[in-house]
Amino acid sequence: MFFASDNGLGASDRIMAAIAAANDGSACLAYGRDDGTARVERLLSDLFEREVGVFMVTTGTAANGLALSTLTPPWGIVLCHDESHVMEDECCGPEFFTGGAKLVGIRGPGAKITPEALEATIASLGRRVPHNAPIHALSLTQSTELGLVYSVAEVTALSAIAKANGAGVHMDGARFANAVAALGCSPAEITWKAGVDVLSFGTTKNGALACEAIVYFDPARGAEMVRRRMRAGHLLSKHRFLAAQMEAFLADDHWLDLARHANAMAARLAEGLATVPGVRLPIQPQANGLFPIMPDAMVEALKAEGAVFYPWSDKGLADADKARKGETMMRLVTSFATRGQDVERFVAVARGAASAASAA
Amino acid sequence: MFFASDNGLGASDRIMAAIAAANDGSACLAYGRDDGTARVERLLSDLFEREVGVFMVTTGTAANGLALSTLTPPWGIVLCHDESHVMEDECCGPEFFTGGAKLVGIRGPGAKITPEALEATIASLGRRVPHNAPIHALSLTQSTELGLVYSVAEVTALSAIAKANGAGVHMDGARFANAVAALGCSPAEITWKAGVDVLSFGTTKNGALACEAIVYFDPARGAEMVRRRMRAGHLLSKHRFLAAQMEAFLADDHWLDLARHANAMAARLAEGLATVPGVRLPIQPQANGLFPIMPDAMVEALKAEGAVFYPWSDKGLADADKARKGETMMRLVTSFATRGQDVERFVAVARGAASAASAA
Amino acid sequence: MFFASDNGLGASDRIMAAIAAANDGSACLAYGRDDGTARVERLLSDLFEREVGVFMVTTGTAANGLALSTLTPPWGIVLCHDESHVMEDECCGPEFFTGGAKLVGIRGPGAKITPEALEATIASLGRRVPHNAPIHALSLTQSTELGLVYSVAEVTALSAIAKANGAGVHMDGARFANAVAALGCSPAEITWKAGVDVLSFGTTKNGALACEAIVYFDPARGAEMVRRRMRAGHLLSKHRFLAAQMEAFLADDHWLDLARHANAMAARLAEGLATVPGVRLPIQPQANGLFPIMPDAMVEALKAEGAVFYPWSDKGLADADKARKGETMMRLVTSFATRGQDVERFVAVARGAASAASAA
Amino acid sequence: MFFASDNGLGASDRIMAAIAAANDGSACLAYGRDDGTARVERLLSDLFEREVGVFMVTTGTAANGLALSTLTPPWGIVLCHDESHVMEDECCGPEFFTGGAKLVGIRGPGAKITPEALEATIASLGRRVPHNAPIHALSLTQSTELGLVYSVAEVTALSAIAKANGAGVHMDGARFANAVAALGCSPAEITWKAGVDVLSFGTTKNGALACEAIVYFDPARGAEMVRRRMRAGHLLSKHRFLAAQMEAFLADDHWLDLARHANAMAARLAEGLATVPGVRLPIQPQANGLFPIMPDAMVEALKAEGAVFYPWSDKGLADADKARKGETMMRLVTSFATRGQDVERFVAVARGAASAASAA
């Protein structure tokens, strides 16, 4: 019953096989000048229905920081959600990569930015030159850290506000596959057609070993990335192995199959928990993460049975929804590798704990 | 006949098998809290005969930059060879990771620093506070970019000078295995026993997919590395796969076997070329790289036969040794995967070109 | 009627005379090795009743950024008010000087942080290593950007919370003199005795030409400042002129006299405006700034009569207090040079505009 | 007998009077929006015979670092002399302001770069993308740290090489006035007409209190400087006082008169010392600094008589010219305030020491 994160298991079989296959004894030029990398560039251009600039790295923090560094100068403001990964989980990575830009957090339930909140934040920022830092970027997480998904209309509306205020739009797509699977739209529709300038296209959380692609929808914007990636130590010499992962990820809609499975497991878990007394789900999951508020005794019972999962901050919830005394908001993340039997068992143990509690 | 670099082939079979084996379906905690990572820490402590601090990343540029950032403040001087990787090949990576430290290059043949040159450079640097930047680190490359190896006595002498001047000692060991194999010493003897404080311990060029370990011989010096690595986007979530590479690398002296093979191929190539008229070897190779000066017609003939290799700068050579008109200094790098037949054929084609030239 | 800021006039006569006197034709060593600088160090040690480390620079942004850079590593969090100068008015200066630290803004009326708000913000920040950036500093502005003053008890309480959470305490004292004059306490009481580690001690807004002192209450914490200041271009060669300003500022309590005058002018302005119909003062001024909410017609009438003053954001006010339609929150800043007659005239013009409005 | 530096005295009387006059009790907008600043912008456009962009700061290190930060990205190379101020005396300031660019030093006598040396250095730098950092700037010091002056032809030749290699040209003009006075050319001829893109136009060493102007000959290149200067804490609030210094500096060719005096004093000192046995002048002074090699006993005798001057590194000299045992290369700097009588006395004491030595 491993629900701690979507990176606790390894790689999908197809992706691991592709890595092994790339180790075919042939020599190739290093640092991305191999044929596999060229193929990936074409595949992503096809997938996104336009010529894109592609830069693969091994982590989402690198992809996000590098992408943002091309949207803002060191003295610019990056607008993002207050609970986003770039704000909270990268130990000042974006500040490092941008050379000192300021992240301004926007609050809102489900780690999701609304157009109203975006406009209010922008209105609250001064425009005195040169005192106030200017706004240069908006970063949206798709799907969000709390398991929600931005619709095409929402991304379009947010991007329009950003652009009207001089900001470029970055999408942190560490779980982009889960979002696309949930939305049923095309990758193009939810990115550049909706105003996104650069995407961190994640594969690691969705079945790869370690591969994230920075995708520029206007390749000219990424012109200097080749040097930024190098100096940050994010250009792999044996780059063919990144390409191999991405190629297998994209082939035959493997990436969507993996994401659909993870999403389906989360939905099943949510359905099951909805029937367990004492469990609340203030945020209705839309992708592969859910955040139930549970009695502490139930959490203990689940852990005793081997469930691996962790508490998460409920600070973004409305006060009425927050965990009360004796409760904790927990994070459950499903992945391409989550087994249905673990979902069933988790719900069953929770239900047992609920019964025990009501009997007590 | 691929001699372009030691990262043009994939991973050794044993290492690739270990990666595949790590993908065993079991769940584990991410970000280095897995058992494999703990085992690697113990293995490296055993290898180096003392408790070490270990931080694995995917590239040598990251390992070097991160390591140096813990030896110098942003306003310090890092002494290194003028032709070293940190100076020339990382696109200002060390400056990025350190927040703006100054690399001061020391000249000398074979990309090797002599104690005399180190002392002379130190003497030439001012000590006026706060105008002159203070010296904080010495970075040595083992084996060097031009295929030479520092002896234990040499590292000891250089470290002593560094320390007498307040500097910590970093060893860029992208080809550490080749050096140890060539020296026949223990890893401890050529590192901390000789005064090295932190080592970039490379595995990628010597048979791994992408894994470099930053090794602190005093773990306290690396105390903040856990956060530096995170904010630089160099902490892999599926960290188990780094650990798997390193574990296989170290097991049964696999790393030394791989390096010995590469070194032997380089020696064979050097022996063969020494007998070819018109080829000069101003630097006698000690590890897995050699830098012959060849007639341009010979280079063309080799390329026509499929040899992949590139020119290299001879700027560090004495004037008398430099390439003359109609000649070029070439770089030939052998690796764990270099085949003897390719070595033989390279020499044969070179000899044929020499005969053709003398007949003309 | 100049109320635009406290830096729109020049220097006080005494300070200007001291600058001229320092230009006495005598030669002295540059870069702070002059006798005047040594005297300032003794004077500030006397003033603060302990040995302090002193570093003079020309701007508050430099003093703040440099001071913070010694409290936090590049990956740390600096807690500050959401409307503070370091957050809003320095164009990412603190991020630049610290090498990328993250400023986390705390909300609250009057640009003042309460202990409750500080604790709530700290509680909302994750502590997962290495993902969440660690808290390293608290920056308090004394007096605040909205004209309030922290009491000794308040600073003590806030510092205690900071320290219990591992953070050092910085005080942005661009208007420190106004605060001390208002509080009637000793400089020691409101700084190190209340837990402050480093103070940006401003003189520019209070009568000097350009001089701010970074004051360390534990000189060891400022050990590396000599180099930080140099590389940031903030070490004046003719440093004697900074010393001359500070010496004159401190002599005979000149600094307090200047601040008392500015505060008195603000109080008189507030008293006057309190009697003008249509003017509201949601924040009761305690130092030398006041932020009346005025009818727009009154603002226009004042400007027509030559008053120089600007609108200010009311975002920190409770909704009930905010400017309504047809009103604007204005900033009025008094200084050492504000003339009583200008205060009287400002109030009179405002009153006239109010009468005209009620007649209409 | 103060020859320690050209910043050991205060300001010229005219400049100090201008500062005092600017303190006229009138209010003005802060941060450079005052009339005096506007006048300076016009004056400098007139002086340089074209529309320029002007940004005043208080130190040369700030001017240099800020100027360079607009010529190079953080991963670029700045070519400069190995003994230049930007390389040696700013404690990694250029690295700080540029965000990590690499300064590559070029050697040559008199701290002067020759076209041949520039070409050789450029040829030695690799061009492999993305490994080798690209060349983005050339920084020339006018006059040099060793008292020499670049001719118009020399600057033109060096700029042409820089531009042919994609680099912009910065001139560190901390002693620009001394150079212009020595050359007898127009400011335009030795700057933009000779290919200079941005000038650090110094006034401090030549009679001001603290004022250096960054001058862009294409104002568009300085477009972002307003924010860079702010975040670095280099925008003075009472900016009128910078303007006052510059205005007085430029008025009636005051700047050239001051520089001519300093240069004349240096020439007189050189002439005098040339006749003193045992003193060598391997570098013939062209501006206001000279670097005699003197017997140590003579140095001691001069110090005993009250002369203030310091040793300087002779590392740039040809071996035959370097100080021998019992000798030291000293730095003597004259300034706008150097008195003829001190020059005479210095020479006389030196001569006396020489006589005493020959008698011994």
Full pLDDT tens readout for chain B, 360 residues: 999 999 888 999 999 999 999 998 888 889 999 999 999 999 999 999 999 999 999 999 999 999 999 999 999 999 999 999 999 999 999 999 999 999 999 999 999 999 999 999 999 999 999 999 999 999 999 999 999 999 999 999 999 999 999 999 999 999 999 999 999 999 999 999 999 999 999 999 999 999 999 999 999 999 999 999 999 999 999 999 999 999 999 999 999 999 999 999 999 999 999 999 999 999 999 999 999 999 999 999 999 999 999 999 999 999 999 999 999 999 999 999 999 999 999 999 999 999 999 987
Give A331-342 pLDDT, tens digit per residue.
Answer: 999 999 999 999
For CA atoms C33, C36, C38, C44, the dihedral sign is negative
Residue B76's nearest CA partner among A296, C40, C224 is C224
Q: Is C282 on the interface with D (CB under 8 A)?
A: no
- Domain C13-254 coded CATH 1.10.510.10: no
For CA atoms C235, C239, C244, C247, the dihedral sign is positive
Residue D172 is predicted with a pLDDT of 98
Separation of alpha carbons D291 and C207, rounded Å: 43
- Strand pairing class (A135-141; A168-173): parallel
How large is the ipTM? Answer: 0.97
CA distance D47 to chain B (A): 32
Give D293-302 pLDDT, tens digit per residue.
Answer: 999 999 999 9
Which residue in chain C has the smallest CA separation from A105? C104
Residue B25 is predicted with a pLDDT of 84
Separation of alpha carbons B331 and B111, rounded Å: 13
Residue B9 is predicted with a pLDDT of 86
Q: Report the amino acid identity of residue C344.
A: E
Instruction: Please state, in angstroms and as integers, the Cα–Cα distance from residue B216 to each residue in B220, B223, B245, following that order.
Output: 8, 10, 19
Q: Is A57 on the interface with B (CB under 8 A)?
A: yes
CB A211 within 8 A of CB A293: no
Residue C293 per-residue DSSP state: E
Residue D25 is predicted with a pLDDT of 84
CA distance C135 to chain B (A): 13
Report phi then psi at C172, rounded to 5.
-85, 100
Subunits close to D (at least 3 CB pairs below 8 A)? A, B, C
The CA radius of gyration of chain B, in Å to the nearest whole number, is: 21
The token pair at C175 is 């208007």
CB A262 within 8 A of CB A335: yes
**How crowded is residue C317: how many other Cβ atoms within 10 Å of its Cβ?**
18
Separation of alpha carbons C355 and B259, rounded Å: 93
CA distance A226 to chain D (A): 6
Long-range contacts of A319-327 (CB under 8 A, 24+ apart): A321/A280, A321/A282, A321/A293, A322/A293, A323/A293, A326/A295, A326/A296, A326/A297, A327/A293, A327/A294, A327/A295, A327/A296
Say whether pLDDT at C348 is over 90: yes
Q: Point out the residue among A23, A65, A237 whose CB comes nearest to the CB of B233.
A: A65
Residue D171 per-residue DSSP state: E
Q: Is D184 on the interface with A (CB under 8 A)?
A: no
Determine the residue among C5, C85, C89, C95 to mutate to test chain A binding: the one whose Cβ has the most chain A Cβ atoms within 10 Å.
Answer: C95
Q: What are the residues whose beta carbons fall under 8 Å from the beta carbon of B123, sequence distance 6 or more? A: none
Q: What are the residues whose beta carbons fall under 8 Å from the beta carbon of A161, sequence distance 6 or more? A: A115, A118, A119, A122, A138
Architecture of domain A13-252: 3-Layer(aba) Sandwich (3.40)
As a CATH number, domain A255-359 is: 3.90.1150.10
Tell me what the pLDDT averaged over chain C comes to.
97
Return residues 58-77 of B near A (CB < 8 Å): 58-66
Say whether pLDDT at A53 is over 90: yes
The token pair at D189 is 């001829």
Specify whether the backbone of A32 is left (phi greater than 0), alpha (psi in -120 to 50) or beta.
left
List, in sequence order, the alpha helices (H) in A151-295. Answer: 152-164, 176-183, 187-190, 225-231, 240-250, 254-274
Q: Point out the residue among D22, D28, D233 whose CB comes nearest to the CB of C61.
A: D233
Q: Do B92 and D133 touch (CB under 8 A)?
A: yes
Q: Average pLDDT in the A17-34 region?
A: 92
Separation of alpha carbons B106 and D319, rounded Å: 19
Residue A3, CA atoms < 13 Å, CB-side half-sphere: 35
Give C77-97 pLDDT, tens digit per residue.
Answer: 999 999 999 999 999 999 999
Give C113-154 pLDDT, tens digit per residue.
Answer: 999 999 999 999 999 999 999 999 999 999 999 999 999 999
Say whether pLDDT at D360 is over 90: no
Residue C16's nearest CA partner among C212, C246, C209 is C209
Tell me what the pLDDT averaged over chain A comes to.
97
Residue A170: pLDDT band by 50, 70, 90 thresholds?
Answer: very high
Give D102-153 pLDDT, tens digit per residue.
Answer: 999 999 999 999 999 999 999 999 999 999 999 999 999 999 999 999 999 9
Return residues 224-253 of A near D (CB < 8 Å): 224, 226-231, 235
Which residue in chain D has the smallest CA separation from C93? D231
Give C198-231 pLDDT, tens digit per residue.
Answer: 999 999 999 999 999 999 999 999 999 999 999 9
Residue B165 is predicted with a pLDDT of 98
Separation of alpha carbons C247 and C54, rounded Å: 13
Q: Report the top-level CATH class of D255-350.
A: alpha beta
CA distance B314 to chain A (A): 23
Q: Average pLDDT in the C100-115 region?
A: 97
Q: Do A75 and C89 touch (CB under 8 A)?
A: no
Asked if residue D130 has a cis previous peptide bond (ω within 30° of 0), the answer is: yes
Separation of alpha carbons D261 and D252, rounded Å: 15
In the sheet with B212-216, reading across from the earlier edge strand, the strands are: B53-57, B212-216, B198-202, B168-173, B135-141, B77-81, B102-106
Say whether pLDDT at A206 is over 90: yes
Determine the residue among C1, C6, C19, C98 to mutate to test chain D binding: the one whose Cβ has the most chain D Cβ atoms within 10 Å.
Answer: C19
Residue D27 is predicted with a pLDDT of 84
CB neighbour burial string for A134-148, b if at least 16 within 10 angstroms, e if fewer? bbbbbbbbbbbbbbb
Q: Average pLDDT in the A236-260 region?
A: 98
Residue A16's nearest CA partner among A258, A245, A203 is A245
Q: Average pLDDT in the A108-136 region?
A: 97
Look at the block and give the residue holding tokens 């920056």: C139
The token pair at C276 is 């003008």
Domain boundaries, chain B: 13-252, 255-359
Residue C25 is predicted with a pLDDT of 84
Q: Average pLDDT in the A309-324 region?
A: 95
Q: Do C231 and B99 touch (CB under 8 A)?
A: no
Q: Average pLDDT in the A153-181 region?
A: 98
Say whether pLDDT at C49 is over 90: yes
